[in-house]
C-alpha cells in the first residue's frame, strides 16, 4: 500500500500531530501536563481511544498493523484530528493513548508526518504503579467520559463491563477489573493462567519491545526517546532539545513548571511498593528487556524491603505523586 496515495492532499493543512508513545504509568500524564504550558501552541487530547479504533473496534487486542489503516480509516482519523485542530484555534494536536505503543506501524500509516516521543520507565516502578489500577473500582467520572466517547452501538458491550468493574469490586464479587492498560495479544489467556502481577510485567515487556522493534523498522523524521528517570532529572534540557527539533517555542510558564514541579521522588518507588515475593515473580519476565534498554537490575532488585510501607500497599492503592503518571 502506498501511504501517500491514501492521504487527501486537498484537505486544509494538518500540523504534524505529536504522538506520545508509552506504556501506561510511564510518565505520559506528567509530560502532557508540561506540554500544556506551551500556551497556544499545543492542544492535548485526553486519551481519545475511540479515535484510533475506527473501523477496527472489534479487534481483540491493541496490536494494530499498517494494513489495518484502510483508506476509510486514514481519512476518518485525519479528518478528526484536523477538526480538533481547527476547533482549538489551529493548535498542534498531541495525543497520548497508551495502547498506541502497540500501534506504531498503524499510526505511521495514518500520520507519516507525525512527531513521536517514545517514553520508557523502569519496569519495576511501572509495574508497581500499574498494579493498583487493576484492583480498585473505576472512577465514575472516568466511566462517564468513556461512555460519552463510545459509539452508541458499543454501549451493550461497554456498560455491562463498566458495571461489573464498578460494583463487582466494591461488593467483593471480583478482585480486579476485566482489563486495564495495554492489551497485548494473548493477554486474556495469560490472565487465566498467571498471577496478575506477572501479566502486568508482560504488559510492560510487550509495550517496550514492540515499540522499539517498530521504531527500528520505521523511524519518523522527528523522533525522540526519553527515559522517565533521565527526564525528571533534567526536564529543562530534555524539553529544550525537543522543542528545537519540533519547531516549538519555550515559554516562561513551561520553564517555570519544569523547574518547580518536576521531581525525582517517584524514581525507585517500587522498593517501597512491592514485596520481595512480587519482585521475584516479575524479574524473570522483565530482566532481559530491562538490560536491553539500559536499566541495572541485579544489585538494585535485592535492595528493597520485604513488605510495602503503610499507605503504599499495591493491592489497595499506591501513593502517587501529582507529578508522576
**pLDDT value of position 319:** 28
**pLDDT of 27-54, one tens digit each?**
999 999 999 999 899 999 875 778 899 8
Pair 40, 89: CB distance under 8 Å? yes
Backbone angles phi, psi at 77, to 5 degrees: -70, -40
The full DSSP string for 184-204 is -TTHHHHHHHS-HHHHHHHHH
**pLDDT value of position 9:** 46
**pLDDT value of position 144:** 75
**pLDDT value of position 254:** 98
Q: Scanning the structure block, which residue is given the C-alpha cell 505520559?
A: 28
Query: Which of the two residues, 183 and 302, has the higher pLDDT score?
Result: 183
Choose among 114, 117, 118: nearest CA to 3.
Answer: 114
DSSP classification of residue 173: S
**pLDDT value of position 176:** 87
**pLDDT value of position 325:** 35
- 11 falls in which pLDDT band (50, 70, 90)? low
C-alpha cell at 126: 511501572
- 22 falls in which pLDDT band (50, 70, 90)? very high
Q: How far is CA 100 from CA 22, 49, 88, 107, 322, in A?
A: 7, 9, 23, 8, 23
Mean of the pLDDT values across residues 209-216?
Answer: 98
The distance between the two most distant Cα atoms of the chain, rounded to a whole number of Å, is 61
Distance of CA 325 to the CA centre of its chain: 9
Pair 262, 232: CB distance under 8 Å? yes
Whether the full predicted model's pTM is greater than 0.95, yes or no, is no
- 174 falls in which pLDDT band (50, 70, 90)? confident
**pLDDT of 108-140, one tens digit each?**
999 999 999 999 999 999 999 999 999 987 667
**pLDDT value of position 74:** 97
**pLDDT of 227-285, one tens digit each?**
999 999 999 999 999 999 999 999 999 999 999 999 999 999 999 999 999 999 999 99
Question: Which domains are delineated in the chain?
Answer: 3-135+175-302 (3.40.50.300)
Pair 17, 111: CB distance under 8 Å? yes
pLDDT above 50: residue 309: no
* Percentage above 70 pLDDT, the chain: 81
- 311 falls in which pLDDT band (50, 70, 90)? very low
**pLDDT value of position 315:** 36
Amino acid at each position: 500500500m502506498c501511504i501517500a496515495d491514501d492521504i487527501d492532499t486537498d484537505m486544509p493543512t494538518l500540523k504534524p500531530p505529536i504522538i506520545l508513545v508509552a506504556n501506561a504509568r510511564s510518565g505520559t500524564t506528567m509530560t502532557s501536563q508540561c506540554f500544556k504550558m506551551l500556551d497556544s501552541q499545543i492542544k492535548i487530547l485526553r486519551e481519545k481511544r475511540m479515535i484510533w479504533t475506527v473501523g477496527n473496534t472489534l479487534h481483540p487486542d491493541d496490536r494494530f498493523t499498517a494494513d489495518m489503516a484502510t483508506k476509510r480509516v486514514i481519512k476518518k482519523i485525519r479528518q478528526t484530528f484536523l477538526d480538533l485542530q481547527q476547533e482549538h484555534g489551529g493548535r498542534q494536536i498531541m495525543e497520548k493513548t497508551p495502547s498506541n505503543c502497540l500501534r506504531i506501524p498503524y499510526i505511521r500509516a495514518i500520520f507519516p508526518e507525525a512527531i513521536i516521543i517514545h517514553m520508557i520507565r523502569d519496569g519495576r516502578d511501572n509495574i508497581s504503579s500499574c498494579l493498583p489500577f487493576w484492583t480498585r473500582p473505576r472512577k465514575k467520572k472516568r466511566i462517564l467520559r468513556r461512555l460519552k466517547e463510545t459509539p452508541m452501538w458499543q454501549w451493550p458491550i461497554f456498560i455491562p463491563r463498566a458495571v461489573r468493574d464498578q460494583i463487582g469490586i466494591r461488593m467483593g464479587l471480583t478482585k480486579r477489573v476485566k482489563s486495564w492498560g495495554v492489551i497485548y495479544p494473548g493477554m486474556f489467556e495469560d490472565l487465566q493462567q498467571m498471577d496478575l502481577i506477572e501479566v502486568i510485567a508482560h504488559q510492560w515487556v510487550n509495550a517496550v519491545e514492540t515499540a522499539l522493534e517498530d521504531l527500528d523498522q520505521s523511524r519518523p523524521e522527528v523522533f525522540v526517546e526519553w527515559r522517565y528517570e533521565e527526564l525528571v532529572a533534567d526536564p529543562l534540557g530534555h524539553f529544550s532539545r525537543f522543542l528545537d527539533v519540533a519547531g516549538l517555542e519555550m515559554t516562561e510558564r513551561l520553564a517555570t513548571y519544569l523547574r518547580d514541579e518536576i521531581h525525582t521522588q517517584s524514581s525507585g518507588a517500587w522498593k517501597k511498593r512491592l514485596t520481595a515475593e512480587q519482585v521475584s515473580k516479575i524479574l524473570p519476565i522483565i530482566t532481559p528487556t530491562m538490560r536491553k534498554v539500559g536499566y541495572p537490575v541485579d544489585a538494585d532488585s535485592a535492595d528493597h524491603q520485604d513488605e510495602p510501607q503503610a499507605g503504599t500497599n499495591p493491592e489497595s492503592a499506591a501513593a502517587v505523586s501529582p507529578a508522576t503518571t
